[in-house]
Structure 1
């Protein structure tokens, strides 16, 4: 028996890629052979390095080219390689984490599982103007696609979305899953029904530290982790948060680890560096330098883990983050997460203050960080992420499949 796992682009590490890799592994555990489908060629062996999940033994169906540009538009064509795999392998199940699968429904003779990272309808449908999540309102979208020329790129995407997007997922799919309670509430607003929540797992190669260093042996460091991309809001942190934090806690340091594998990401990193320097901050690119802000691109996991093990707080600046795998990874190492009071990072990981601190303004972020850096809080974030294992994800998915 076969099971198709369809994702728009497998070629870079990210939350969606982790979910799909974990799903392939989980379906394999149920006795089905996963078939990986995506728009562009990719190297399955990378998943062992990124997440500790081996995808190299599974067949893959992709377009015969490699590409990193036009990743947003790639979402529009996710159904094409999936349709090819359906014809060739005649799967029992199709798992897809995109909305653009309307053409797949024409001759559907398999069970379909849709996993929603975020309901795109709330962004593009005029009915949801005023919710704070529509285009022009949601900071997550506007940080990345709000200005020329990317606003044109976005508008072209929306036109294609209307052509290929399925309608109500509860009418199209046999099972509808989402990544967080926050996303489930947004989905209920859009579709009228609440999907089941299946949190993404921690990657198997991310350990939950058994005995993290005590507070007094850690340094007043704040760590951030995520690609150097506009929606991560590093520019906001170095201009609005860091200068105030260093006045409150002079010995504090800000360490930003980010992927910068493309010219666009590299350009954003340089922009953040310039903005930090213009704000009067001392910037370096290696931890052995004397600085206040460290911008470290494409760091090995060993270096990231070492820094986390010496730090006291983890800052996540994205607004309306649907889940936040980097937050979960930091919690696994015992760091106090400081996250915006929106999205799944706040509802499902920090659990609205139970396992971390929240903020809405720059002043509140500085206050929360200063608190996390200067006094033990009695929080153990590891308790929250202890259940986010690949095995538990597989068991939960298996129940839905049955």
Structure 2
């Protein structure tokens, strides 16, 4: 096989998430600089919807799966076997480069070193922070971090997480800087955490905005928009849509009674559909009329698996984007909203605050419901011209996050090791 292959390994290609767009963008970037990417995973590699999801066509690249079946549950456990998929894909294609956003390749440490493979690890979040007793009390340890706590603190998900963390040490590499030729992180926030864990700081490579998310040059004006707030991200507990419906929206409606809330999200699993139904029940109990159809008059729209053109349409007619996740590692949904010229409001934590909003330079932040309400009302009323200022700032920031810039930046970093 050609030595110009590069294995791009991810545990699950079958949904539109931050990890998937990074691996898709990396595959595209390697192809641009002269390598043929091999898309590797534990189960069947499904990328037929990537053009619709991201505007990146991966259909022409070879695919390698350790097992050929589809799997819709137990996703995090797939990570534990990615090392085997990497090993077999490298052997089959003779690849000398591996790009992965997984940390569970510990069993092939000697294989990587003996074969002289240039391994590139991309860190979304150093998992050691969640499971290592040294980090208890930091607010990011399991049981303290809302990002994990919201999803894995209750039965049966707490048992699901417990078993995963018990198995994890068998597969987790000790220190990426001892194996990988290049260690990358999605944000300055993540890079600082990684330095605390490993003693060295990764290079920061922000994920790109999907190329099918147009960066608008002339967004609709404030006066052309309705009083509505948009949220985007899979229907999952850590996105805290329930918190917004229960604590934020009622306070907003007291000051701006006709304000609508649109929530778009992926809902391809039983867990996500259960959470969606829970949100509908919660909204009804709070007195809000709900709908999954944006063409029906309602207060709260909960739209699963919406097409990109519909999401863009609603963003273009709304006045604010709200992101409720605490300690979001990056925030691709925030970046997508900024590309539409939509002012954003994010929690003052994680990569969304450090890299996208840059601690208030390009958007608004909050630490509690009252601050979130105040920031949103500021935008809904355009007090002190704030809507126009932050709409312009959003576009300015998003222009640095294109796929083309991702290719340039990754190529520059790869030149140090290849």
Q: Establish whether TM, by shorter chain, passes 0.5.
A: yes
Q: Does 1:57 align with 2:60?
A: yes
Q: Distance in 2 between matches of 1:313 and 1:360?
A: 17
User: TM (normalized to structure 2)?
Assistant: 0.94
What CA distance in whole angstroms lies between the structure 1 residues aligned with 2:27 and 2:45? 15
Whole-angstrom distance in 1 between the partners of 2:201 and 2:46: 36
2:109 matched to which residue of 1?
105
Task: Tell me if 1:120 matches 2:103.
Answer: no
**Secondary structure, aligned partner of 2:301:** strand
- Asked whether 1:198 is paired with 2:201, we answer no
Counterpart contact for 1:61–1:82, Cα < 8 Å: no
What stretches of structure 1 of length at least 5 have no aligned partner?
none
2:73 to 69, 75, 79: 69
Is residue 45 from structure 1 mapped to residue 35 from structure 2 by the alignment? no
Aligned mates of 1:272, 1:262 — CA distance in 2: 16
1:29-178 to structure 2, matched below 5 A, reads 29-62=32-65, 63-108=67-112, 109-178=116-185
Distance in 1 (CA, whole Å) between partners of 2:16 and 2:305 is 12
In structure 2, what is the equivalent of residue 397 of structure 1?
Answer: 410
Counterpart CA distance in 2 for 1:272 and 1:224 is 13
What does the per-residue CA deviation read over 1:203-258, in whole Å, with 9 as the maximum and x for residues that have no partner? 11111011101111111110011111111111111001011110021121111111
Query: What secondary structure, in the 3-state scheme, does the structure 2 residue paired with 1:208 have?
Result: coil
Measure, in 1, the Cα distance between the counterparts of 2:110 and 2:140. Answer: 31
* Rounded Cα–Cα distance in structure 1 between residues aligned with 2:179 and 2:72: 30
Structure 2 distance, partners of 1:59, 1:288, is 41
Preserved contact between residue 243 and residue 281 of structure 1 (Cα < 8 Å): no
Separation (CA, whole Å) in 1 of partners of 2:171 and 2:294: 47
Residue in structure 2 matching 1:19, options 18, 22, 25: 22
Structure 1 residue 148 displacement after superposition? 0.7
Q: Give distance in 1, aligned partners of 2:153 and 2:84.
A: 29
What is the distance in 1 between the residues matched to 2:186 and 2:375? 26
Match of 1:250 among 247, 250, 257: 257
Partners of 1:259 and 1:173 in 2: how far apart? 33
Contact 2:39 2:45 in 1 (8 A): no
State whether structure 2 residue 267 is matched by structure 1 residue 267.
no
Could you tell which deviates more after superposition, 114-123 or 26-35?
Answer: 26-35
Q: Distance in 2 between matches of 1:42 and 1:105?
A: 24
Q: 1:189 aligns with which of 183, 196, 206?
A: 196
- Cα deviation for residue 98 of structure 1 reads 0.7
Distance 2:287 2:204 in 1: 44
Residue among 250, 256, 281 paired with 2:288: 281
Deviation at 1:138, TM superposition (A): 0.3
* 1:80 CA drift (Å): 1.1
Moved more, 289-298 or 209-218: 289-298
Q: Distance in 2 between matches of 1:286 and 1:27?
A: 40
Aligned-partner Cα distance in 1 for 2:46–2:78: 17
Q: Give the root-mean-square deviation of aligned CA atoms.
A: 1.0
Rounded to whole Å, the distance in 2 between the matches of 1:204 and 1:291 is: 31
1:344-363, aligned counterparts within 5 Å? 344-363=351-370
Q: Deviations over 1:168-215 (max 9, x none)?
A: 111121111000011111111111111110000011111101110111
User: How many correspondences in the alignment?
Assistant: 402
CA contact (8 A) 2:45 2:64 kept: no
Contact 1:339/1:346 (<8 A) preserved:
yes
Distance in 2, matches of 1:201 and 1:276, equals 34
